[in-house]
Amino acid sequence: MSPAVSTLSPAIAAILDDPAYPGLKALIIETTGMAFYRDKDGDLARILAERMAEIGVIGCAGYLGLLQSLVQGKAEMDALIAELTIGETYFFRHKEQFDALRDLILPDVIARNASFRRLRIWSAGCATGPEPYSVAIMLEREFAERIAGWHVTVLGTDINQKFLTRAREGRYDEWAFRVMPDAQRAACFDKVGNQWQIRPEFKRNVSFQYHNLIKSPFPSLADNIAGFDIIICRNVIIYFSQSTVESLVPCFRESLNDGGWLIMGHAEPNQRLFRDFRTVNTPGAVLYQRADGPPPAAEPSPSAIPRPVPPVLAASAGAGRVAPPKASPVRRSRATPSRLVPPSQPQAQGLAGFDRLKVARDLADSGQWEKAAAACNAIIGASPLDAWAHFYRAMVHEQMGEDEACEKSLRRAIYLDRRLVLPHYHLGLFLARKDDTAGAERSFRNAQALLTGIAEELPVNPGEKITVGQMREAVAMHLKLLGGA
């Protein structure tokens, strides 16, 4: 035992001496990306010792077995993640970046999107919510006139379920307002006891969902992670390894519309990583803009090499606002549909139909909603009974703020093929948003039943990036939120 270890409490020292500890540590880092713990054995062992004592597990091998078990593994990993993650955050953190958002980025995006009146913003690793709420406050207080009647989405995602619950509540202690002027706080929050509750007008466009940047591939339309105008991911990747960060940057890029902006934490200035972006410097902030154009001269990245435009695009060419679809980043290309056995597959769908659906889905994944709508309409025109085409049409309706049409298309997809998981799942999300709790619960239960008995690692449908395991986790979380778990 090293001298440092001998000064630690016996429980922590026992964990550090346990031969199963390295495997346990590797699983935790692999699941969360938090390579930060690679050289923080004392901290990690303390958290593990506390967690293991709480649930009465002795020894790292037993705890590793629990984390890997099919029945309780996910729930225990969530409980552990709640202790491992660091949720330091506050409103309008790093003022210079919010200045750039107000003075440069939002005016640019609003001008760019004026013809279709939509705005999609993602706060990745949002912790308890001050970051997405700060954006919503800025939009409401400084841009309300310019975006009146627009379909605005501010999505906050995180790996920590406890943080997400608190984010949804929107109630904060004084400390969260450490750089926010009192007058601004009074205008946006109501005092409730010792805390401050965000007012409904700053909450209505903000939603929160679970998303693990390491394990949930993106962009993914089915996961609602695609087609953003602005992505904010600050003070998150600092905990990840260099190779993890390198694999994430192209995914962020692919999840942005052309011309969209990426804001990273000011402590993450490794600009080499962002060479596929246009770098813009403003006072105190470095910003990255996706600008599709000729690849940089020396080293073109895989994601910058254009694919041929598929024939189905011809009808709508020029109608949209963005460049042709690009090749997928390395992480995405792993799940080749033909290698995997789908849980269920539409009967009538031949290879040509599959390819055409893939085109529609890729267009939607890259935020080209008008082209994706045209591609879906073309498939539906030729094969009106294609359940998947109706499903992807529903997803595009949703992104375009066409609620009624979205619900209709989802129900049509289910009517045409009840075995497809994603339409049930998304109908659940839709109904939950409309406060139809019973309907939402029914839809999630249908999705849950369809996922029973299928191997975790399979894609939830052919070519989709979400796996059965991830979908199960998402469904369980939503049922829990509805109070029906």
Ligand X SMILES: C[S@@+](CC[C@H](N)C(=O)[O-])C[C@H]1O[C@@H](n2cnc3c(N)ncnc32)[C@H](O)[C@@H]1O
Site of tokens 């207080």:
141
Minimum CB distance to ligand X smaller for 266 or for 480: 266
Query: What helix, strand, coil percent values describe the chain, rounded to 5?
Result: 55, 15, 35
Minimum CB distance to ligand X smaller for 256 or for 427: 256
| CA distance linking residue 259 with residue 289, whole number of Å | 6
- Minimum CB separation of residue 417 from ligand X in Å reads 32
- Minimum CB separation of residue 46 from ligand X in Å reads 18
- Minimum CB separation of residue 244 from ligand X in Å reads 9
The answer to whether the beta carbons of residues 202 and 184 sit under 8 Å apart is no
In order, the DSSP letters of 275-316 are TTSEEEEETTEEEEE---SSPPSS---GGGSBPPPPGGGGGG
Strand partners, 171: 197
- Minimum CB separation of residue 127 from ligand X in Å reads 3
Token readout for 143 is 């841009």
Minimum CB distance to ligand X smaller for 135 or for 454: 135
| CA distance linking residue 380 with residue 110, whole number of Å | 32
Strand partners, 281: 286
| CA distance linking residue 256 with residue 258, whole number of Å | 6
Cα 196 versus chain centre, distance? 27
| CA distance linking residue 220 with residue 444, whole number of Å | 19
Residues at the site binding ligand X, with contacts judged by CB under 6 A: 32-34, 85-89, 93, 125-127, 131, 158-160, 163, 211-214, 234-236, 239
Number of H-type helices and E-type strands within the chain: 19, 10
Minimum CB distance to ligand X smaller for 234 or for 412: 234
Neighbouring CB atoms inside 10 A of 305's CB total 10
- Minimum CB separation of residue 28 from ligand X in Å reads 11
Token readout for 231 is 């992505």
- Minimum CB separation of residue 202 from ligand X in Å reads 17
Minimum CB distance to ligand X smaller for 155 or for 374: 155
Minimum CB distance to ligand X smaller for 34 or for 378: 34
| CA distance linking residue 126 with residue 135, whole number of Å | 12
- Minimum CB separation of residue 119 from ligand X in Å reads 19
- Minimum CB separation of residue 237 from ligand X in Å reads 9
- Minimum CB separation of residue 156 from ligand X in Å reads 9
Minimum CB distance to ligand X smaller for 209 or for 289: 209
Minimum CB distance to ligand X smaller for 25 or for 211: 211
What backbone phi and psi angles, to 5 degrees, belong to 384? -65, -15
| CA distance linking residue 374 with residue 319, whole number of Å | 10
Minimum CB distance to ligand X smaller for 450 or for 471: 471
